[in-house]
Structure 1
Amino acid sequence: MKYPIYLDYNATTPCAPEVIEAMLPWFGQHFGNAASKSHPYGWMAEDAVETAREQVANLIGAKPKEIIFTSGATEAINLAIKGIFEHYSGEKQHYISCKTEHKAVLDTLDHLQSKGAEVTYLPVNQFGEIDLEELNSSILPHTKMIALMWANNETGLIHQMDRIKEIAEERNIILFTDAVQAVGKIPLDIKGIHLMAISAHKMYGPKGIGAIYIRHNHPLPKPLALIDGGGHEKGFRSGTLNVPGIVGFGKAAELRSKNLEVEDARLENLRNLLESKILEIEGTTVNGNLKNRLSHVSNISFAGVEGVELLQRVNKEVAVSSGSACTSISPKPSHVLAAMGIEPDLGRASIRFSLGLNTTESEIIFVAKYIKKVVETLRKS
């Protein structure tokens, strides 16, 4: 099968060859259970898990004991939000988030509302930014958590996390961030963060493995476990550890630590080249903040074409999406673009381009030409 050019790295990334190589022995040769404490098979697996824990911690500037492995970011998000809700069970609870969060956060908060919690969803401006004064004024005496993503998965917007951390710190409130699109892409300072979700497959690691960062040595509470049975991962997440996945996660984190800044600059140049050529097409607009965003992401609207047909035509030669991979099959316009005030037809006719390690300049030039051809054809039909 001939695959199209891949520009959907925010949906998932290919495992780096070094990651695959690191994982392979742990499927067969070293197959032990990391919880088997009485023999070398288990000792080897446990050592590999702890090495990976340190590698992931080093990537974000945390302590290894603050990293708890999960099945992915969605589980980490559920553990962070529902685990805090359970901690405060029986109390009046209020949570603050944003209309442009990932569905994993929005749906989890919806669940909390069904259980009696109050949730404030902050609006955004046309660039996808929240008003920090509105965030501050939304805090109530019974506010338990601020849940805001570090970088948006659809537009690449990087929220003002330094100021958000200050607000949470000043008001002594738990700050949870979905940092899936930020970790391994931009330098992060986790000071002031209490809980953070991370995913391996967004940073050239394997699918099915993620982590939650849980801040230690702080009076604010930690989440209660959602899964019982064995007390693995310091009691936060029971279940047999996915040793091959964890090893791959650790290797991916190590690789990202080494080439983050160089790759960031390379992708920004390629992204800017793509935008400059596509914006030559009449009726095209980049959605979001053009300054404070991830270097590899561009979300572009195409006026005068039907969204579903645009995506179908483009994907014959270029693998892209109209938004989050979790909602890419929906004909509805992106909830992120809708919150930014983009009208539904234009929201449906928007494409998220996300570049990655394997993206080349020749591919970008081809993509721009192909997109122009598709848009011109659709506008004539």
Structure 2
Amino acid sequence: MSQRGKNENSLRTSASSALSAVNPNAPAAVDPNERQRRWRLVLGGEANESCGGLSGEDIEIDQALAALYEPEGSGGLKGGRRGGTEKSAPRVARWLGDIRKYFPSSVVQVMQKDALDRLGMREMLLQPEMLEAVQPDVHLVANLISLSGIIPAKTKETARMVVRKVVDELMRKLAEPMRTAVTGALNRAVRNRRPRLAEIDWNRTIRANLRHYQEDYKTIVPETLIGFGRKSQKTQRNIILCIDQSGSMAASVVYSSIFGAVMASLPAVKTQLVVFDTAVVDLTEKLDDPVELLFGTQLGGGTDINKAVGYCQSLITDPTNTILVLISDLIEGGVEKNLLQRTNELVQSGVQFITLLALSDEGAPCYDQELAAKMSVLGVPSFACTPDKFPALMASAIKKEDISLWAAKEGMNATRGR
């Protein structure tokens, strides 16, 4: 079997999506010829005899797949085993154009990530002409941030433009749900006895006036009106995002920065953002510009969660109105005993302490299950959270609901103490 066949996980996903994109109107019941065509694209050139050859556009699609998943051949992105002086840059640039031509953007992102991870082709991101050809996404931003220290001067402006494009798109998608959830939760935390019409909490008003039900008119006379609280200009909640910036948390760093910037724009919430590896860096002052904030992180390195939580502990002045969100896979390189002691102190003081094992769309992460269980016993639930659920999570925390129950209701399987 070809190398392409051996790497079936990413390739089969890409190939299947690609085939649907090439022929989106194909019937649900695939005829034998179409099935053979698909298998030929999945398995590569060695399947010519069993599946038949390709023609037309399929040849170019096959070449684009082979360039990535059969890199040992002469058509590979990094060149073949033959000698030669041709630079890889033009070849990569052509390949980037080809995959954008034949594959949908979701598959392009998968293939770009494979090119970076499998072939070590970081040079894709070090030249402006190639960077301009890449499909921007969260993973690309994470790679650019990790390379920020070595990106050539001529490429830095292009890199910032790419990051800005992704950040702006995420802000359009995530900002309003975040603002709505947080302000709604804050407004409902305070009741108003003289509400305007738009502020009336009808459910509570009806319950409070049931004794005034008028049988003749089949209605209730609302003698007492109960409304949601009006927006307060003073700080009602302190939120600290403490983000592990090790390489495995790259996508979480991007999403956390976006949400941090949105919350920092709300006057009733004081938001602080701290990133850490073996050192701790407070990036709160950069929350007004998510792009600058992201370039202030340094993805990779070790992990000292205890030191980071200790720093966050020093920031807390009003424990009962503070929400500390630790975003980490809990693979601790510091002193676990001290971390657990700090965790207990924070919970006992009244801080709402939540651990997100990931804030991304990538599913359940690899994490230290034993440490998660120990923290859960102390009252700190741990679970992965997708970006679309994060606003609701913060709203639940602001209303001081049981986060473990909220996570279970949302199907997040929070780690809970026994």
Structure number with the bigger relative contact order (C-alpha 8 A, sep ≥ 6) is 1
Larger helix percent:
2
Select the structure of larger CA radius of gyration. Answer: 2
Same fold at TM > 0.5: no
TM-score, normalised relative to structure 1: 0.30
